[in-house]
Amino acid sequence: MRILIRIFINAVALWVTAWLMTDINISGDWQTLLIVAVVFGLVNAFIRPLAKLVTLPINILSLGLFTFVLNGLLLMLTAYITGMVSFGDGGFFSTLWTAILASIVISVVSTILGWVLPDGKKNK
């Protein structure tokens, strides 16, 4: 049940981000949004830990700010894998900045929804 709640939270966060930011477009309907949310969750579960380990030195030098860049790159990877998300017509760095801003919005919305929705754990 926890996994379904996390997928729902990711889907809503992606939808809110696409709604707020005009440069991001998720093509399709709610099923497409769920597919993108599942892929985004898998990318964050499997690729993010390795990427954080590899980028640890630059992350330490930047006092953790490189995490925003890493999150944007993982969002761009999700868009590339699914082919259902577009970031406007800019070049790589324009797209990267859009992805970084989008990852911040996704993080904020996911955090707020994580506080509001139950996660299936029993509080003892």
Per residue in 56-109, pLDDT tens?
Answer: 999 999 999 999 999 999 999 998 998 888 877 767 767 889 899 999 999 999
Residue 118 belongs to some domain of the structure: no
Tell me if residue 117 falls in helix, strand or coil.
coil
Count of structural domains within the chain: 1
Q: Is residue 114 part of a domain?
A: no
Rg of the chain over CA atoms, in angstroms?
15
Cα(25)–Cα(88) distance, integer angstroms: 8
**Contact partners, residue 6, CB within 8 Å, separation at least 6:** 41
In a domain, 76, yes or no: yes
In a domain, 120, yes or no: no
- Summarised one tens digit per residue, pLDDT across range 6-24 is 889 999 999 999 899 888 8
pTM: 0.83
Residue 44 lies in a domain: yes
Residue 89: strand, helix, or coil: coil
30 compared with 56, residue with greater pLDDT = 56
Asked whether residue 124 is assigned to any structural domain, the reply reads no
Structure tokens at 103: 């990852």
**Structural domain span for residue 48:** 2-109
